[in-house]
Amino acid sequence: MKMKLATVALSALIAAGPALADLTFPSLSYRTGAYAASGIPFADGYADYFTLLNERDGGIGGVKANVLECETGYNTEKGVECYESTKGQGALVYQPLSTGITYQLIPKATADGIPIHSMGYGRTSAKNGKVFSNVFNYPANYWDGASGAVNYLLEINGGDIKGKKIALVYHNSAYGKEPIRTLEELSKKHGFELSALPVDHPGQEQKSQWLQIRRDKPDYVLMWGWGVMNQVAVQEAANIRFPMENFIGIWWSGSENDVLPAGDAANGYKALTFHNVGTDFPLFDDLKKYVIDAGKAAGAGDQVGTVLYNRGLYAAMLAAEAAKKAQEISGKADITAADMRDGMEALEITEAKMAELGLPNFGPTFSVSCENHGGDALVGVTQWDATSKTWSLISDFKPTDGEVIGALIEEDSSAYATENNIAPRCN
């Protein structure tokens, strides 16, 4: 009997675990809990891209990709548990999908030699590859977002925003406070007046903040929100009749989820982005043929083309391209996490490559190096059309203020290096 049980257990273990030759991409997803509405489309997009590569191309460099999904519920402790339980299964790169989880994983993953890709979130100064050897945050980070918003305002104001009043409505957390320092520096540089209005978690009640905005009459409002805070903010802005075209959210405040509850009132609201929106790209035809219609989609297939689905798909594409680069550098198909890190550090995304992948103008062009783990920091702007219920990219992916951001990154990463006795690399 014991023998039988042991055989069954072993068979189950083999069946449940990835094949040794697979390229394993853990997906720390959150399909349950208060933030599931945002977690599901990202996780679907991330998984579906790898399914497409497996079904259409036979994997990456001939090796099948295996997405190892672990539910975090957007909870930092669970995220760390997911990391610990999956890292021994050949994990190549972690996309923690939470700034809190990223902060916890930075020392752990660095010690384990596994790279982290915190795309558009996490520790901004991780862009400095000299200090953060295993953390990558290309193609853009929060400070790029802040600068991208200001640059966009400069552009629509003929290059002059001196004397303009800009209010920042932010989630009162480490994440929400990220852009403040950058915006303060940029306000000194460009002469705009900045006011910062924190909103406590979860953000269901924002009357005080929006009454203040109504009294102060800022020219523009920027938002660093998350979850229910976004929907309430868009509704409150509409309630006080703040011009929606002057209201710009960070990319985590710019999905369909954030604007649909306000209905027509959300029309014209803008959000920053580092990837394109919609399905009007050749790759989506393949996705439909090999994944959705074939019944192999990770979810119900109803999220395809939404902002967060596209973000998950884009993250998977960047991971796959880095894996290809790693295979090229190491000369072997069955790469390790260390090879993957090298691949990420040598990643170069050109428009020709994007077109070849069936994603022309889907994301910014950028290159990664030992010193620069954040790419070229190009940021675009999208706008919501409430009638057609679609987002549109209304600007190109444009450069941000490297001078201001570079100094802040250097300062923050140097402090981290000193605290943690890290000797700068890339010499």
Partner 1 sequence: MSDQLIFATEVILNGLMAGVLYALVALGFVLIYKASGIFNYAQGVMALFAAMTLVGIMNGQVPFAHLINAIFGAHITHFGWNVPALLAIILTMGVMVLLAWAVQQFVMRHLVGQEPIILFMATIGLAYFLEGVADLMWGSEIKTLDVGLPQGLNVWIDDTTYGILGYGFFIDNLDIVATVIAALLVAALVAFSQYTKQGRAMRAVADDHQAALSVGISLNFIWVLVWSVAGFVALVAGIMWGTKSGVQFSLSLIALKALPVLMLGGFTSIPGAIVGGLIIGVGEKLFEFAIGPLVGGATENWFAYVLALIFLVFRPQGLFGEKIIERV
Binding site for partner 1 (CB under 8 A): 31-37, 40, 172, 196-202, 204-205, 207-209, 211-212, 214-215, 227-228, 231-232, 235, 238-241, 257, 260-261, 263, 265, 300, 302
Residue number, 11 or 204, with CB nearest to partner 1: 204
Give the amino acid at 346: A
Kindly state the smallest distance separating residue 302's Cβ from partner 1, in Å. Answer: 8
Residue number, 222 or 232, with CB nearest to partner 1: 232
Residue number, 169 or 409, with CB nearest to partner 1: 169
The count of C-alpha atoms lying within 13 angstroms of the C-alpha of 116, restricted to the half-sphere facing its C-beta, is 33
For 341, counting Cβ atoms within 10 Å of its Cβ (0-12 exposed, 13-18 middle, 19+ buried), the class is buried
Residue 36 burial (CB count, 10 A): 16
Distance CA 119, CA 46 (A): 13
Residue number, 101 or 229, with CB nearest to partner 1: 229
Kindly state the smallest distance separating residue 237's Cβ from partner 1, in Å. Answer: 11
Distance CA 30, CA 353 (A): 31
Tokens of 74: 């957007």
Contacts of 151 (CB under 8 A, 6+ apart): 379, 398, 399, 400, 401
Residue number, 100 or 380, with CB nearest to partner 1: 100
Kindly state the smallest distance separating residue 257's Cβ from partner 1, in Å. Answer: 5
Residue number, 196 or 357, with CB nearest to partner 1: 196
Kindly state the smallest distance separating residue 417's Cβ from partner 1, in Å. Answer: 29
Kindly state the smallest distance separating residue 207's Cβ from partner 1, in Å. Answer: 5
Nearest partner of 222 among 162, 280, 153, 277, judged by Cα: 153
Phi first, then psi: give them for residue 190, nearest 5 degrees.
Answer: -105, -5
Maximum Cα interatomic distance, the chain, rounded to a whole number of Å:
81
